[in-house]
Structure 1
Amino acid sequence: MIQKLLDALIDIVLWIPRQLFGLLVDAVELMLGWLPEIDIVDIQGIFDGIGGELLYFLTVFEFDYGLTAMMTALIARFILRRIPFIG
């Protein structure tokens, strides 16, 4: 009997946060509908516009490896700064 009473009390107390969360989700969904659609440019057309000289230097300097290493370092730094007593 006491367990049922506690369960009912918990349901009553948690009803307001659940309703507020539902309203917040509905508001965010409505606001996302207001955003304009972005036209996606053809990626192949962009790469076709890059000259051969630039592609040569990107290959020599290993741009793909460098970009991957930089992004990995930035993500690791972000994660490490979230750990208490380290960052």
Structure 2
Amino acid sequence: MIQKLLDALIDIVLWIPRQLYGLLVDAVELMLTWIPEIDIVDLQGLFDGLGGQLLYFLTIFEFDYGITAMMTALMARFILRRIPFIG
């Protein structure tokens, strides 16, 4: 009897945050529809337009490895920050 009463009280107290969360999710979904789509049809054509000198320096500086290392480090930082007592 007391457990049912406590469960009902908890449901009443948590009803408002659940409704606010639902409204927030709906608002985010609506805002995501406002973002325009970017059409990149020919990615190779985009890189062909960069020019030989820029591609030479990107190759010398190992740009592809640098971007991969940066993204890996950012993902590791994000994951480690989510672990309690570490982040």
Normalising by the smaller structure, the TM-score range is: 0.5 to 0.7
2: CA distance, partners of 1:65 / 1:18: 44
Q: Which structure 1 segments of 5+ residues have no match? A: none
2: CA distance, partners of 1:58 / 1:66: 10
Match of 2:48 in 1: 48
TM-score by length of 1: 0.65
Please give the root-mean-square deviation of Cα atoms over the aligned residues, in Å: 3.2
SS of equivalent to 1:39: coil
Instruction: Describe the superposition over 1:41-60 as per-residue Cα deviations: whole angstroms up to 9, x where unpaired.
Output: 22111112233343333333
| 1:12 CA displacement | 0.6
Match of 1:58 in 2: 58
TM-score by length of 2: 0.65
Q: Which range moved further: 53-62 or 2-11?
A: 53-62
Q: Among the aligned pairs, what percent are the same residue?
A: 75
Q: Highest Rg: 1 or 2? A: 1
Number of residue equivalences? 85
| 1:64 CA displacement | 1.9
